Structure 1
Amino acid sequence: MNSEKLSAAIELLRPLNVLIIMLVIAASVLLAGGIEGNILKAIIAAVAGGLIGGAANAINDYFDVDIDRVNKPNRPLPRKSLTPRAAFLLWFSCSVVGISLNLFLHSPALEISVSAVAGLFVYSAVLKRTMLLGNVLVAVMTALAFIYGASVAGSPERAFFPALFAFLLNLGREVLKDIEDMRGDRLGNAGTLPIRHGVSTALTVATVSFVLLLGATLVPFTSGMSGMSYLVMIGIVDVILCYVIISMWMDAGSENLARLNTALKADMVLGLVALYIGL
């Protein structure tokens, strides 16, 4: 593989997203089980999760190559830096290695990783083009990263609030991505929520998810589980979330929604830091 194809393969995996997944999983392991005796587990779990996450991105682009010629023409497959066959082989290789690494980890890590690979494949192949089911599945898979990390440390219950936070934020974010991608999705005969029921309905669903998230972020403080340091930090998260809600209703154009989706990624990281500091 020459340097150009190697660069395209790395790009296909979406390295920034992979890095976020790895950090989330490593943090979940260490915070659920403590640092002592868990550093190697955290590294193995993070690498395994990163490979599975990267594989999911590769298979997503494999199935979306026609749609991406319209929505994202600069991705490796539409611009022909990689072939679809290469993308499929990359998915298969990363998935096999990612699953295999879980043989060294605490149960049920292996079961979770197999479920994640299967679920994300079904999402890319079928559910992504269906109304809301694909959005829910991606949100569940994102939440599962936290449960997976905590399970490796033997304390999955420690991941409840981070998983809930990730689920609600990513459910709303996925709906916004469907609005952003409407032009190409129509050409691909997708039946996503904004195509089937309009942009206003999709914005309403995203708003409900974000408002539920706003309420959920207050529970650790109001229940006495966390203190003022958590409240201050989660307050910043909630301000950004309120801005996203207002902005998406004012401008539901693709350019603004792409910007808001980036803001939501950053907001998720801030929110998780707040949760881990406070809980």
Structure 2
Amino acid sequence: MNSNKLLAWIQLSRPVNVLITFVSIPVACWIAGGSAPLQLSYLLAGISGALVAAGANAINDAFDIEIDRINRPDRPLPRGVLTLRDARRMWLMVSIVAVAINLFLNISALLIVALSIFLLTYYSARLKRTVLIGNVVIASMTGMAFIYGGAVVARLERALVPALFAFLVNFARELLKDIEDMEGDRKENAVTLPIKYGTAPAIVLASASILLLIGTTIAAALLGWYAPIFLSLVLIADVLLGATVLLVWRSAHPATMRRASIMLKMSMIIGLISIIAGSL
């Protein structure tokens, strides 16, 4: 395998998203486990989740190849570096390994992973091009990373708050990505919220989700759900979230939506660090 193809495989998996998943799930296990010492099961869960994410990204690109020829021509499949068969093979292999890893964990974790693979694949095949349903599913899957972590340590109740944080920020991000991708989605007859009702409702809903997230993080700090350092750190994320809202109201241009999406991803990372620090 030459270096160009190896890099294409890595790009197909969307390594930043995979890395975030790999880190988030052991953190979720650790938080749900009451900050107990790190266990091998946490690492196995992180690997399993990362493989699910990589497979989901690969199969998503396979279904989106025609749209990506317009919206993201630099992706491996539109460029022709990898084939549709390559993407499907990658999805199948990593999904099998992801499920198999959970045989060493517990039945709840295995069922969550199997359900996640099914929903993420169905999302790429059908739900992605629907009004709001696809957005809710993919945002729920991001929150599911924390639910999965809670299942691994059999403490689901401790995973609910960070799962809500993850859902809200990713729901907003999915809506903004729909605005960014409108040109290609129209050519593929996708029926997303901004295509059917215009960009304004999508921006309003995304902004509402972000503002609810800001309020929820402040409430979590004031109610003492995390140590005091949580508030100091999460305020950085909240400022970034507020700046994102202001940005998207200035312009609905695809480049603006892409920048806003990056800002939301940065706020996710800062938020995760805040939860870790607040759980020490």
| Distance across 1 between alignment mates of 2:206 and 2:180 | 13
Aligned counterpart, 1:252: 252
Shift of residue 79 of structure 1? 0.5
Aligned counterpart, 1:175: 175
Structure 2 counterpart of 1:193, one-letter code? L
Shift of residue 15 of structure 1? 1.1
Aligned counterpart, 1:192: 192
TM-score between the two structures when normalised by the length of structure 2: 0.96
1:86-101 to structure 2, matched below 5 A, reads: 86-101=86-101
Deviations 1:162-192 (A, max 9, x none): 1000000000000000000001111111000
Please, what is the CA RMSD of the aligned residues?
1.2
Aligned counterpart, 2:121: 121
| Segment drifting more, 141-150 vs 216-225 | 216-225
- Does structure 2 conserve the Cα–Cα contact (< 8 Å) formed by 1:107 and 1:151? no
- Does structure 2 conserve the Cα–Cα contact (< 8 Å) formed by 1:248 and 1:256? yes
| Segment drifting more, 99-108 vs 27-36 | 27-36
Shift of residue 277 of structure 1? 2.3
TM-score between the two structures when normalised by the length of structure 1: 0.96
- Does structure 2 conserve the Cα–Cα contact (< 8 Å) formed by 1:107 and 1:152? no
Aligned counterpart, 2:211: 211
Shift of residue 28 of structure 1? 1.2
| Distance across 1 between alignment mates of 2:129 and 2:152 | 33
| Distance across 1 between alignment mates of 2:104 and 2:235 | 39
Deviations 1:46-66 (A, max 9, x none): 111100100000000000000
Structure 2 counterpart of 1:191, one-letter code? V
Aligned counterpart, 1:110: 110
Shift of residue 232 of structure 1? 1.4
Q: Secondary structure at the match of 2:147?
A: helix
Shift of residue 25 of structure 1? 0.5
Shift of residue 107 of structure 1? 3.1
Q: Identify if the C-alpha distance between structure 1 residues 227 and 39 changes in structure 2 by more than 3 Å, giving closer, same or farther.
A: closer
| Distance across 2 between alignment mates of 1:78 and 1:72 | 8
Structure 1 counterpart of 2:201, one-letter code? T
Aligned counterpart, 1:61: 61
Aligned counterpart, 1:202: 202
Q: Secondary structure at the match of 2:76?
A: coil
Aligned counterpart, 1:153: 153
- Does structure 2 conserve the Cα–Cα contact (< 8 Å) formed by 1:77 and 1:83? yes
| Distance across 1 between alignment mates of 2:42 and 2:123 | 27
| Distance across 1 between alignment mates of 2:43 and 2:163 | 20
Shift of residue 35 of structure 1? 4.3
Aligned counterpart, 2:42: 42
Deviations 1:131-159 (A, max 9, x none): 11000000000000011012111211111
Aligned counterpart, 1:231: 231
Shift of residue 7 of structure 1? 2.0
Task: Give unmatched runs, 5+ long, in structure 2.
Answer: none
Structure 1 counterpart of 2:122, one-letter code? V
Q: Secondary structure at the match of 1:77?
A: helix
Structure 1 counterpart of 2:183, one-letter code? R
- Does structure 2 conserve the Cα–Cα contact (< 8 Å) formed by 1:161 and 1:275? no
Shift of residue 228 of structure 1? 3.2
- Does structure 1 conserve the Cα–Cα contact (< 8 Å) formed by 2:31 and 2:159? no
**Structure 1 position 136 matched with structure 2 position 141:** no
Deviations 1:203-248 (A, max 9, x none): 0110111111111112222223234322211111111111000010
Aligned counterpart, 2:23: 23
Q: Secondary structure at the match of 1:78?
A: helix
Deviations 1:111-143 (A, max 9, x none): 000000000001000000001100000000000
| Distance across 2 between alignment mates of 1:230 and 1:83 | 45
Q: Secondary structure at the match of 2:107?
A: coil
1:74-93 to structure 2, matched below 5 A, reads: 74-93=74-93
| Distance across 1 between alignment mates of 2:103 and 2:228 | 41
How many residue pairs match? The answer is 278
